[in-house]
Amino acid sequence: MHRLFSRVTVIEKFGHRFGLSRERMKKLERLLHTHPIKTLLFIKLAPVLPTPGLMIVGTMRMPLGSIRHCRPIIILPKVLLFIALGYYFGSAYDAITQYAQTGEYFIIVAIAAVVACYWAYQKGSAALSARLQTI
């Protein structure tokens, strides 16, 4: 029963769907043991890889101690990047909303000017046509 759910059996059954073969698994296992920080950094920072990558790391039997020591090194730059992006995009959002409020006032004034011009045109054309009828 244990052989049924082993990592080799799972990879043989489902690995080809994800481009994993025994050779690639052995190469990944070798990379995890020789360069754990670099490999985990690549897995964590790649857009699609974190969940399946960490599952593969788990099947590779990487010691939890080395994962625990690598985690702050990997997570800290990513957290700082997203904090900086949030701060600067928040500042940009404030500036954009100020411009949008100024644009709202401009739109209100423009609509009022168009309505005033239309009203003046209606009154002016009515007065002009009344004068022309008397001539």
For residue range 66-112, list pLDDT tens digits in order.
777 777 877 888 889 999 999 999 888 888 888 888 888 888 999 99
Amino acid identity at 46: A
Positive or negative CA dihedral for 71, 31, 18, 57? negative
Report in angstroms the alpha-carbon separations of 4 from 8, 9, 58.
Answer: 9, 6, 17
The answer to whether the CB of 67 falls within 8 A of the CB of 57 is yes
Rounded to whole angstroms, the Cα distance separating 98 from 104 reads: 10
Q: Any idea where the domains of the chain sit in the sequence? A: 2-97
User: pLDDT band at 130, cuts 50/70/90?
Assistant: confident
pTM of the model: 0.45
